[in-house]
Structure 1
C-alpha cells in the first residue's frame, strides 16, 4: 500500500449489502483484506451496536460521512454518536444552501454566495469538532468543478476554508470525471488534503467533463485512472493519513470486486 497506509474502504460501497446483513457484510469486508473503514449509509442502529459490530469484524472506523445538516444544525448529536464509534474524522460529502428552497420546489444551481456560506459553516464545524478531538473535512464529487459566476467552487472552498479547521478528502475518481488531475490539484494546494477516495472508471479519451452515462464504474486497475502519479504527488507534498476504496457499483460479484480493489492497492508501488 503506498505511503505505508492501512488498506481502507468507504462502506457506501456495500450499502445494499449492509441493509440486508450488517454483521455478515462487515465480515466480508474484513475477509477481502480491509482493516479500516469510513462509514456512510449505515443501518439505523445505536452507535454502541455499530461499534460492537465493527470491533467483532476486526475493523476500525476512522472516518464518517455525515450530511450538511448533521455537521451544522445537528452537530452536537453527530459528535456524540461518532465519538462512540471512535472516528478521527467527520467528513461532509456535499454542500448545503444559504437559503434552502421551499418544500416541493426545484432547487436552483448553487451560487458563489452559497459556496462562501458553505466555507463559513465548515469553519464553524471544524472549530467545534477540533475541541472534541475530531478533524472536520469536505469530500468532493464533480459539481464542485463546474464554474459558477466565473469561479470554480472547489477553489472557493480551498481559499476560504481555514486549514486548521477544515481539511479535504479528495475523491480522485470524481476529480477525473470532472476533467481535472488529482496530482495537479495536490501540487497546487500542498498540505490541504489528508485523505483520498480511490475508485476507477472507464472514461472517454481526453475527458473534459464526463456525464454519468460516459463514466463507467469498474474495479481499480481496470479502468482509465492511473493512481501511481497521484500517490507519488501525495507522497511529495501532502500529509495523507487514510485512503479509502469506494466502489460506486459492482460489475462483478461484490465480494470479488472488493478483493480486486484491495489487492490493487496492496500491490501499487510508486
Structure 2
C-alpha cells in the first residue's frame, strides 16, 4: 500500500512538472537582457543558463558592439543561447541621426551591425533612443523618420525587421503634434515597425488601445513592463491591451525590468511567472 501511494505521488509530481513545462513551452515570452545587465557583465554564460531554466523562450540583446554580442562572435552567442533553450530573436542597438560630415561613417556602421545580426539569425533590430534632435523641431524629427526608413530598407535586404522603441518623451507635443504620431505617420510600415513599451506609454499619459485603432498592425513587438516586477505597481492593466494584440499586429512579447524589489534575476523570474499565470497571455 505504501509503495502504491509512493508511486502515485511520484506520478502526480511528474505530471505536474510536465504540465508546468508545457505551459512554459506554449507561451513564447522573451527577456530584454538589459534587465540583467550587471549579471551579463559578470557571467554571461551563467546568466543565460538561468534564464533558460526559468522558462524564457528567447532574448532581446542589449550588448552589441563592433560586430560582437557581449564580446562574443555572432555564431558563438547564438550557440550559447540555443544550448540553453533560447532563441536570439531581437536586439537593441543603434546610432543617433548622422550629420553630413559623418553620414558615410554611420551608414557603414549599420552595414557591419546588420551583417552581424544576420549571421546570428536575429529577426528584429530595434533602436531604443534618439538624441536631442529627435526631441527638438519637427524638421529634425522628419530627418529621423527618413533615417529610420533608410535603415529599415537596409535591414529588409538582409531579412531583418527594423523598429523603434519608445520612452515617454515621444508622447509630448511639438508644434501641436504628438511626436509618436508624427513618427508613425512619416515612417513606412514596410520599413519600420514599432516596439511599444506598455509602461512608458502609460507614463506618457497615452492609451495603447487608441494607438492600435489609429495605427493598426504597426506594433509588432511589445515591452511588457511595470515600475518594477510585473504586477507590482497596480497601475498596469495588461488584459485589455492583450485582447487587442491582433489589431496591434503584435508578434512577440518581451519582459523588461529596470527597477527591482529583488535581485534582477529574481525580478525577471517573478515577472515571467506573472505572465505564465495570466490567462490572457496566449
> Aligned residue for 1:88?
123
Per-residue deviation, 1:158: 0.3
> Which digits, 9 at most, give the CA deviation of each residue in 1:54-80, with x for residues without a partner?
122221011111112598451110111
Residue 258 (structure 2) pairs with residue 231 (structure 1): no
| Distance verdict in 2 for CA 1:97–1:252, change over 3 Å | closer
1:20-49 superposed Cα distances (whole Å, 9 cap, x missing partner):
000001111112220111111352332232
The equivalent of 1:62 in structure 2 is 89
Structure-2-length-normalised TM-score: 0.80
Closer/same/farther in 2, CA of residues 135 and 30 from structure 1, 3 Å limit = same
User: Once superposed, which parts of structure 1, at least 4 consecutive aligned residues long, lie more than 3 Å away?
Assistant: 69-73
Say yes or no: does 1:267 pair with 2:277: yes
Q: Of the candidates 30, 34, 43, which is equivalent to residue 52 of structure 2?
A: 30
Which one has a bigger Cα radius of gyration?
2
Structure 1: stretches of 5+ with no match in the other structure: 99-107, 202-217
1:112 aligned residue (126, 131, 138): 138
Q: Separation in 2 of the partners of 1:269 and 1:232?
A: 11
Aligned positions, number: 242
Structure 2 CA distance, aligned partners of 1:10 and 1:21?
16
Residues 79 and 199 of structure 1, relative CA distance in 2, 3 Å threshold? same
Alpha-carbon displacement from aligned partner over 1:79-127 (angstroms, at most 9, x marks no partner)? 11101221111111112466xxxxxxxxx95221121111101111111
DSSP-derived class of the 2:195 partner = strand
> Which of 154-163 and 247-256 deviates more?
247-256
| Correspondent of 2:74 among 39, 44, 47 | 47
- Is 1:143 paired with 2:169? yes
TM-score under structure 1 length normalisation: 0.84
Alpha carbons of 1:35 and 1:109: their partners in 2 closer, same or farther (altered >3 Å)?
closer
Deviation at 1:255, TM superposition (A): 2.6
* More contact order relative to length (CA 8 Å, sep ≥ 6): 1
- In the alignment, the residues of structure 2 paired with residue 63 and residue 172 of structure 1 have an alpha-carbon distance, to the nearest angstrom, of 18
Q: CA RMSD in A?
A: 2.0
The answer to which of 252-261 and 186-195 deviates more is 252-261
Q: Which has a greater percent of helix?
A: 2
Q: In 2, Cα distance between the equivalents of 1:5 and 1:180?
A: 28
